């Protein structure tokens, strides 16, 4: 037997004893099963709307301008610039159904509230061409936001400074191009209410970047936990009730919700709303569309943060970390180290501590709450193929 085989067998034997191998295999197996289930759910949902929405954004991504950017991305290989990871995820699309698919399913679920001409409507799916444009716009705004979030702070002494700075320029320009193209498509719809609503999503995405504190690396960190954690409802756009930001920051569940309503929930909710505006539905039905999209996006985010935390890829403002701070405010001393120029947060310590606390369990409960709210909204619509597809998507999270 070779030395390599002996070493491998020794490692496997001891890893098994410590439970490391079994835990890793269990997680990977569960993850593979979940992805397989989601892929199956997405394929069935795409049959309902009539075509594969996995490639919903290719019309813009593969045009000359973006193709030109893609040729320059090769220069970033080896630099670990976030734009590389974003580009890869946009091509593969293998983790989650697209938000454009959700918009189309909501459009089909609600139906058309007026008579539309053959030129305006795709009769094979009973979805307006304008609603398909809103689905594309949803994807493009989301994509541009992801690309813009890939901008990184640079140190002029970095050996890869030139290439990383070039990557930042690519991220800025390509994100701006997709964003401007999105609003150009919205303008062509010639619907002021839709234009105003979609424009407000850009405001919300921008505001999400200015919630709370940031460390010296310009990464967001939670606010200092308040002594008393109160239940605060972050209102829907339709029934806006004023709330004081100082009552939200440090109130962990409310702060997480506010960050993610502005950072994505608003986008999916308002795009679902706009699809129903275009079909001439009453405000009450539009509100249902917004509520479903918003709650689905929040459930989605909680599920994603829970999975990423287990894979050791997490943000300090992710739900597991913030819920741990709710339970143990004294741990904030570790989180706020990033505010100092002379100290660094130990992410290994944060992960180890949070894994031993209630953060992950509370994140699962948070996901369940938003999923149930989304399902309760769907209950107000009649049974149909599109409703069944949306229910399956919510349950696959």
Spatial distance between the Cα atoms of 339 and 5, rounded to a whole number of angstroms:
47
Q: What is the pLDDT of residue 105?
A: 95
Picking from 205, 199, 202, the residue whose alpha carbon sits closest to that of residue 261 is 205
Residue 190 and residue 178: Cα distance in Å, rounded? 20
Q: How far is 330 from 325, CA to CA, in rounded Å?
A: 8
- Average confidence (pLDDT) per 10 residues, the chain, 397 residues: 49 46 50 68 84 57 58 60 64 63 95 88 86 91 87 76 80 85 93 95 91 86 91 63 78 94 94 96 95 96 93 92 96 88 87 95 96 97 95 93
Which pLDDT belongs to residue 183?
93
pLDDT for 164: 78
Residue 21: per-residue pLDDT: 44
Q: By three-state DSSP, how is residue 102 classified?
A: helix
Q: What angle do CA 246, 196, 296 make, to 5 degrees?
A: 60
CA–CA separation, 305 and 347 (whole Å) = 15
pLDDT attached to residue 218: 82
**Number of other CB atoms surrounding residue 391 within 10 Å:** 16
CA–CA–CA angle 97, 98, 103 (5° rounding): 115
Q: What is the model's pTM?
A: 0.84
CA dist., res. 365 & res. 371, Å (int): 10
CATH topology of domain 19-395: Farnesyl Diphosphate Synthase (1.10.600)
- Written as six digits, the tokens of 212 are 């709370």
CA distance 115 to 193: 20
Alpha-carbon gap, residue 199 to 45, rounded angstroms: 28
List the beta strands (DSSP E) in 119-205: 121-122, 127-128
CA distance 187 to 332: 46
Domain ranges of the chain: 19-395
3 state SS of 237: coil
């Amino acid at each position: 037997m070779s030395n390599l085989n002996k070493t491998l067998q020794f490692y496997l034997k001891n890893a098994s004893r410590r439970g490391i191998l079994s835990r890793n295999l269990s997680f990977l197996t569960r993850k593979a099963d979940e992805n397989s289930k989601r892929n199956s759910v997405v394929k069935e949902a795409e049959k309902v709307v009539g075509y594969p929405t996995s490639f919903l954004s290719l019309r813009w991504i593969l045009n000359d301008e973006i193709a030109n950017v893609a040729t320059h991305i090769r220069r970033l290989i080896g630099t670990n610039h976030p734009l590389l990871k974003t580009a890869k995820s946009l091509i593969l699309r293998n983790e989650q159904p697209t938000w454009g698919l959700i918009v189309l399913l909501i459009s089909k679920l609600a139906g058309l509230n007026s008579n539309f001409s053959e030129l305006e409507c795709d009769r094979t799916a009973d979805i307006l061409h304008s609603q398909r444009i809103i689905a594309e716009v949803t994807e493009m705004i989301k994509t541009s936001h992801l690309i813009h979030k890939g901008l990184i702070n640079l140190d002029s002494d970095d050996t890869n400074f030139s290439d990383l700075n070039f990557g930042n320029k690519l991220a800025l320009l390509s994100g701006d191009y997709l964003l401007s193209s999105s609003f150009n498509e919205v303008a062509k719809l010639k619907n002021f209410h839709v234009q105003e609503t979609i424009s407000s999503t850009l405001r919300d995405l921008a505001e999400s970047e200015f919630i709370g504190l940031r460390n010296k690396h310009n990464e967001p960190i939670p606010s200092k936990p308040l002594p008393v954690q109160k239940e605060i409802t972050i209102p829907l756009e339709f029934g806006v009730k004023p709330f004081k930001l100082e009552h939200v920051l440090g109130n962990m569940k409310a702060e997480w919700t506010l960050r993610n309503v502005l950072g994505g929930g608003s986008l999916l909710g308002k795009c679902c709303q706009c699809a129903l505006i275009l079909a001439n539905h009453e405000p009450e039905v539009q509100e249902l569309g917004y509520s479903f999209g918003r709650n689905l996006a929040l459930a989605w985010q909680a599920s994603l943060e829970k999975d990423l935390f287990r894979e050791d890829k997490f943000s300090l403002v992710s739900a597991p970390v913030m819920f741990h701070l709710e339970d143990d405010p004294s741990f904030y001393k570790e989180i706020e180290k990033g505010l100092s120029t002379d100290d660094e947060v130990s992410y290994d310590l944060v992960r180890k501590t949070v894994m031993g606390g209630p953060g992950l369990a509370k994140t699962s409960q948070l996901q369940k709450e938003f999923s149930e709210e989304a399902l309760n909204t769907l209950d107000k619509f009649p049974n149909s193929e599109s409703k069944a597809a949306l229910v399956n998507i919510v349950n696959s999270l």
